[in-house]
Structure 1
């Protein structure tokens, strides 16, 4: 099995499997995130890929599926029905499922600093109009309304993902991800880019967002130090905030779903982000039976579910209500919020840079940044992506 080196709970499940199966142990190799995808591509190209491999689902996984490199798994083999349906979608192609969810849910949510919002007389925004009004008040109070690490580009993408869903509904991007580039010409794409530019033009992200890099923790710090009122980010940010500023996390950290849009076609309960990472089975594996045993009995079993909850992460399985009710830590309300958000969501859109084929990820991030900087007109964003998809 190949996986990323930050997947410590996954490693524990491999250790448990190996203890129970001394004659057919899993050899786990763990890699840094940056070069992992390239190593996987090279290994598959040389027919030296592992039996089980960690991936993001979406377009990159589908590329391997279309090449005949991945074996579909069935409910009878791995008990698929225990997993959250909207999460399985990211590893399901043409009605077949090609991976088992392997870590916690990571929807993107709107975090806020309770004290900063209260001081400005702002309620946590539930609508897009409310968000614009909050931006105006917070800016007038001399704080950055929304912290954004625009230098990293992918945090800006989160806005377009949500805005497209709210404007046009989930079908628009489903068409694009399904291989129909004409979806980029849908008026909703221009509508989403227009609203991103509207937010930027209103001063939502301050004056220096393009110099803020996410990996250095700068956008996170703006929120907990009170220099910014809000931040749109994945659920992993919760752990970052608890670690960096435990007092803030306990007293002044709030979170809500991304606002709804009046007149939009999208369901306000739709979410975007990373539904989960997946473990997929190499079609050429000579150890399929052992691999399926691991996927069925050791991935998201009771021990692993408990380990994720203890780490402040919600595993992508159904029927967690009783376990959540029994949580005694400060994370209880956060875990319940994330679980309900995902359970109630009719659509959980995988991040576009993961959902699209890998050769479109760079043009996507480049055009997202140009749109944010207002270097291109809203209608040019979709036109440029249509060209990139040809």
Structure 2
């Protein structure tokens, strides 16, 4: 295996996730009346047989086996739900020990790269797909699951999820995190008290922001110390101004493609205008999303809106379901009316069809596949992280599994809106910090600090992106 630092660029451009249908498989997982992740261990032994009995799956070893798994489930409900999946697996296969290590989100990718570079990579690790997943595979740290996926049972994942788990025609990950659309959460109570309507255009959004400011309320709650949180605004403004066209061109750096094109300058200029107008909290670059400082501003009424991923539903519910039900609504990012008049599509959405995926690093010292360990990892990921209990817990906490038919089981009104937006999109642009090559990702995130900090102009950060992209393409 190649132990070098994973910073080389992958040559093949990943296909944009287009939601046009659902994939097939031989096993479909449906929600059941299971309990929460907290009682998952008890449920694991509820029947005398294994959950995998009667299914077309590899026969797992009866000898002692140890597996190390890295995830980012540091808080509930994800922590309890994912630990429950591991406990159910170990209940059915007591000879297999899974060492589950929870890592902090912000430093996770860097820690994973360091572990791979030093030959200490875990047997199972989670990721968001995109460019980094391709690099993990090309550097020798991800098993090709294509044959196993074709041969053995697995959930009936939607096509979009399979696409985001695939690189160069190879299945490299098992989805488990669910659909994660990106939309604007807002305080319905504040909107009602001020007589505000949900904005449909960016001009209307700015009018809402001005009314909120006039009433001493911060329009957007944003904690940008994490950097990728500010990127959500940048990505949406680019998408609304140009669809996917200008990003796709800048990504390849071909046919005049550049991150200094009109859509990127528009997005950066709009963000800096909003910063100057006070649409974001003071010290926005010092506030941490990992510490939920953005949610805190919503809770105390200091801020009225927050652009974020669908996982915020489960997080806010876990903090206070009563407050969530009384106060939280959601709407899609408004349209750019001028761009729309020019024929620019306004139905590109930002997010992911897998939430996260699991890849396996199951190799022996001689670099051959450790099939016994790989078999166990496959069964854990497909049959326990995607079983009835797991999926029911996901739905209960506001997350929609990336499995065909699951959208029919949503009862949360905000999740219904998010799902409708997601499935009505012409395509879903994966987060830039997941889609871009790893070396460019770091530049992009640093640029978000510079952008929101008014340290550099949109043109200057665009040039930083271009320089990094050219180096990545050249393999430097």
1:20 Cα deviation after fit? 3.0
Encode CA deviations 1:306-349: one digit per residue, 9 max, x unaligned: 1211222221212014433xx5xxxx223323333333333233
Cα 1:69–1:151 shift into 2, 3 Å: closer
Cα 1:151–1:48 shift into 2, 3 Å: closer
C-alpha distance in structure 1 between counterparts of 2:390 and 2:344, whole Å: 34
C-alpha distance in structure 2 between counterparts of 1:208 and 1:40, whole Å: 30
SS at match of 1:260: coil
Which of 77, 82, 87 is the aligned partner of 1:15?
87
Structure with bigger gyration radius? 2
Which of 249, 254, 270 is the aligned partner of 1:195?
270
- Does residue 367 of structure 2 align to residue 270 of structure 1? no
Q: CA RMSD in A?
A: 2.9
C-alpha distance in structure 2 between counterparts of 1:228 and 1:342, whole Å: 26
SS at match of 1:27: strand
C-alpha distance in structure 1 between counterparts of 2:438 and 2:336, whole Å: 31
Q: 5 Å matches for 1:1-390?
A: 1-4=68-71, 5-6=73-74, 7-22=79-94, 25=96, 27-33=98-104, 36-74=108-146, 75-77=149-151, 82-175=156-249, 182-262=257-337, 263-264=339-340, 267-275=345-353, 276-282=355-361, 284=363, 285-286=369-370, 287=372, 288-324=374-410, 327=411, 332-389=412-469, 390=471
C-alpha distance in structure 2 between counterparts of 1:266 and 1:79, whole Å: 42
1:232 Cα deviation after fit? 1.1
Cα 1:209–1:185 shift into 2, 3 Å: closer
C-alpha distance in structure 1 between counterparts of 2:407 and 2:226, whole Å: 36
1:226 Cα deviation after fit? 2.1
1:160 Cα deviation after fit? 0.4
The number of aligned residues is 383
| 1:84–1:343 contact (8 Å) kept in structure 2 | no
| 1:58–1:355 contact (8 Å) kept in structure 2 | yes
| TM-score scaled by length of structure 1 | 0.86
Cα 1:199–1:89 shift into 2, 3 Å: farther
Flag structure 2 segments of 5+ consecutive residues without an equivalent.
1-67, 364-368, 472-476
1:26 Cα deviation after fit? 5.0
1:266 Cα deviation after fit? 5.6
Encode CA deviations 1:135-192: one digit per residue, 9 max, x unaligned: 1222222221222223443321110011111112224434555687944243322222
| 2:246–2:257 contact (8 Å) kept in structure 1 | no
| 2:310–2:415 contact (8 Å) kept in structure 1 | no
Deviates more, 1:229-238 or 1:258-267: 258-267
1:254 Cα deviation after fit? 1.0
C-alpha distance in structure 2 between counterparts of 1:209 and 1:343, whole Å: 32
| 1:52–1:280 contact (8 Å) kept in structure 2 | yes
1:99 Cα deviation after fit? 0.7
Match of 2:24 in 1: none
Higher helix share: 1
| TM-score scaled by length of structure 2 | 0.72
Cα 1:139–1:322 shift into 2, 3 Å: closer
